[in-house]
A and B are shown apart, each in its own frame.
Chain A
Amino acid sequence: MAREYIDGTEAIVRGALHAGCDFFAGYPITPSSGVLVRMMRELPKIGGMAVQGEDEIASIGMCIAASMAGRRPLTATSGPGISLYSENLGLAIMGEVPLVIVNVQRLGPATGGATTGAEGDVQFVQWVTSGGLPMVVLSPTDVASSYWLTTVAFRLAERLRIPVILNTSKDLVQTMETVDVSAWKKVPVEPRTPFGGAAPYVPYRFDRLGDVPQFLPVGADLQVRFTTSMHDEHGNLTKKLAKVDRTFRHLQEKVLAHLDELVLVEEDRQEGADTLVVASGVSARSSRAAVNMVRARGGKVSMLTVYSVWPVPEAAIRKAAEGVSRVVVPEMNVGLYRREIERLLPNRKTIGVNRVDGEVLTPDEIIRTGELEGGVA
């Protein structure tokens, strides 16, 4: 056993480096600055490049271009910064750019509470840009899963050529905890499928809608065209109806066709339980503790931890809710993910446990408000 005492920031940085990240650009903002500072210190050691951009727009712009030059980039920010990332996240979807974005949630809107935790970006990160295409979002619950999901984010970003958001929060990146590094999970990150055919390279060619186009970096021997505009397979601007439709549906299908790889949940069912707790992020930790307490006292309750928050793992949630009549959703926001649960499970009683003052939910609070041990007599 190799125990260490570290925080989520350190886990994300190590996860990124172990996933082959070799480019970073970011702009300081609490509580995500730790990632910037550590990447600036670590990347030169392995011949990578790290830059502090003049703002968030520049930072993500540099990452996007570096990715298209063949690098494996990471950027990190928080509320005000992810808001500024919005337009470029659309570009990353449209141009099919592998990119991992760490969003460290703090209390918003706007500047909000810089050192105050929250989970208020849960809906925002899904539709974070114009156009209506789904974003892939992963949400860790502790230091170990911050590491694991960082490697998963890189794997998905590289494989599917998409931006992937790791949606964490202040209380996860800055909390120190005992970890057993030798037991950490990680996934391998394969390089993008390179173009193998004869010239010319057609940068946005795919056969089936859900296929991922083969990659060549800007700077390869064959010409590469990259574009933010609605394009045909050659990367040329198009308004031809059939081509526009095909490109758009491809961008959606690329994610939907790989849903099986994207679903990451942990189901802990207890036979005979009438209540299911569904949670993600730091609230999943308090929920887990609450569930353990209830069970230790002889009560029955099931739990579903959702790591892949977007796209919503609908089948997994429906399955976990089989046999229960109540679903409790604890969150540090006004009830954002609860909407998804209510949409999926219209015939269950859905109960939110919510806090928006920056404090992490306590297990007792979840037991009380969620009535995990029955209502007040």
Chain B
Amino acid sequence: MSFEVNDYLLEKSKPYPFCPGCSHGQVLDALGKALPMVGVAPNRVALVTDIGCIGISDKHFGMHTFHGLHGRSVTYATGLKLGNPDLTVVVLVGDGGLGIGGHHFLHAARRNVDITVLVCNNFNFGMTGGQHSVTTPHQAVTATTSEGNFEYPLDIAGLVDVAQGNFAARVMFYDPKLPEIIAEAIRSPGFAALDIWEMCTAYYAKRNKLNRTVLEEQLKERNLSTGIVVRRERKGYVEQYRQSLEALQGKPLSEGTPMASEFPRPSYPRQSVLIAGRAGQKVRSTAMILGRAGVLSDLYVTQRDDYPVTVMTGHSTAEMIFQPDPVNALTVDAPDYVLITAEEGRDVIRERLKGLPATSTVYALEELLPLDTPARVEPIPATAVDIQKKKTQIVLACVAWLAARTGVVSPEALRRAAQSEERQSISDENLATLAEMDARLARK
């Protein structure tokens, strides 16, 4: 099936709403001519328009139109393309929109998202009254650069090049080849952008001398040329996505493994445990073993972790509650048991230790004593938990000690919970630690 200009650019919608002599209309005309050359059906094309004079063009087009926020048109184009990869997606954006949304432009080019971006570059913000933009030439006069612009202009096609997008062209709005170049950009797989040099008759062209000769001189001065300036053959984003994630397709969703109540439920109404250690000591994962042991013992457990922003340094704490019915509060004033395995943990709960009642018990590695607390303190001798040199199992050894002393969970439940680690080697190491602790505790 072949299509005509009027299938895309609605003749009856004219005239355009632009100022007399504004070149935006010529770009819209060129886009209208380019689409039938590409031959894609109008209802398979989405036109995303940015904000600004160029953005008020939706009603002139017969394909799908999407008019979003200023500078974000490239994000919508990306979302449409990923949401429906069969769509051909074209963006109309001004130099203002390119400036505020430059980040998106850069990353769409880098990702090589299969969209075509037409930057309608008239060297200023038309709609808001002729303020300078990121492409305003050096020394040009605008509403915001009355003494001449001292900022330097950005080269849009160059940006595509450094970001490794597939296609970029620089072209004058009056170039009779404009429709062909647009068509070529749309056909090109991956990211494509056009830097279309334009004329804002209401502002920029009023304050600065501007005609074809001046535009071409500027090109020369900046050592730039028109025509296709970037062309690469990198795979487009959609294809890359499909290929790289093919292996995952069809795999079952991670649904977790339900646990049965394999062990008798301890008889207490509630116990709360606060583990205070150091990052890297595996506080969190060890607390998870203790938690799973609780679940396996028909208990409801909560585990609230805390650590600083940098996960490999500083304190790491886990506050846990075990009870036969669903737990509500995640924290209590006074934990029944506190387990301290490192200085960092001890220091971060200093104030809490001071406020503990005499009925609470603190288990702490010997070397971390004395503690400032009214609670009962039971030292854990270093020799009791020195399972291996690396000390990566110290928290698990201490948890085994605590479990044996308090009965929060049984040694059997702890052993069973330690097995469900995802990696066999970790599981083996945990079980060795627990077996050694069982033996030591039995000897005592």
A residues near B (Cβ < 8 Å) are: 1-6, 10, 14, 17, 23, 25, 30, 38, 41-42, 44-47, 49, 51, 53-55, 57-58, 61-71, 87-88, 91, 95, 114-115, 171, 174-178, 181, 217-229, 235-237, 282, 285-286, 288-290, 292, 359-365
Contact = CB atoms under 8 A, between A and B. Distances in A.
B258 interface: yes
B18 interface: no
Contacts of A65: 48, 66, 68, 75-80, 83
B254 A87 contact: no
Contacts of B330: 171, 175, 282, 285-286, 360
Given A64-B68, A286-B331, A223 B43 contact: yes
A175 B249 contact: no
Given A5-B292, A228-B69, A175 B304 contact: yes
A95 B330 CA distance: 40
B86 A219 contact: yes
Nearest to A177: B302
A365 B252 CA distance: 45
Nearest to B246: A44
A272 B304 CA distance: 35
B291 to A, nearest CB: 5
A94 to B, nearest CB: 10
B64 A218 contact: yes
Interface of B: 42-44, 46, 48, 56, 58-59, 62-69, 72, 75-80, 82-84, 86-87, 103-104, 106-107, 241, 245, 248-261, 288, 291-292, 294-295, 299-309, 326-333
Contacts of B291: 5, 176, 178
14 contacts: A4-B257, A14-B255, A45-B251, A58-B104, A62-B82, A66-B82, A88-B72, A181-B258, A223-B43, A228-B67, A236-B58, A286-B330, A286-B331, A288-B329
Contacts of A71: 83
Contact of B58 (A70, A221, A225, A286): A225
B84 A61 contact: no
Nearest to A51: B82
B300 A177 contact: yes
A42 B307 CA distance: 27
A222 B62 CA distance: 10
A73 to B, nearest CB: 8
Given A174-B305, A181-B258, A225-B58, A61 B64 contact: no
Contact of B68 (A61, A175, A282): A61
Contacts of B65: 223-227, 235
B258 A360 contact: no
Counting chain B CB atoms within 10 Å of each CB, which of A5, A71, A87 scores highest?
A: A5
Given A4-B258, A175-B304, A236-B58, A223 B75 contact: no
Contacts of A181: 256, 258
A180 to B, nearest CB: 9
Counting chain A CB atoms within 10 Å of each CB, which of B76, B250, B294 scores highest?
A: B76
A39 to B, nearest CB: 11
A58 B71 CA distance: 10
A222 B79 contact: no
A223 B76 contact: no
Contacts of B295: 3-5, 178
B75 A44 contact: no
B300 A62 contact: no
Contacts of A3: 258-261, 295
Contacts of A41: 248, 254
Contacts of A292: 328
A55 B294 CA distance: 40
A374 B362 CA distance: 32
B258 A2 contact: yes
A176 B256 contact: no
B294 A362 contact: no
Contacts of B332: 362-364
Contacts of B306: 115
A218 B68 contact: no
A117 to B, nearest CB: 9
Counting chain A CB atoms within 10 Å of each CB, which of B79, B241, B302 scores highest?
A: B79
Contacts of A236: 58-59
Contact of B253 (A5, A17, A69, A285): A17
A289 B107 contact: no
Contacts of B305: 174-176
Contacts of A30: 309
Given A223-B64, A292-B328, A365 B261 contact: no
B103 A66 contact: no
Contacts of B48: 65
A208 B79 CA distance: 31
B353 to A, nearest CB: 15
Nearest to A115: B309
Contacts of A45: 248-253
Given A65-B75, A71-B83, 13 more contacts: A44-B249, A45-B249, A58-B72, A58-B103, A64-B76, A69-B84, A175-B330, A218-B66, A220-B64, A223-B63, A229-B67, A285-B329, A286-B331
The 8 A-B pairs with the shortest beta carbon distances in the complex, nearest first, are: A65-B79, A61-B75, A69-B83, A66-B83, A62-B79, A289-B329, A2-B258, A289-B328
A164 to B, nearest CB: 18
Contacts of B79: 25, 61-66, 68-69
A51 B86 CA distance: 18
A175 B258 contact: no
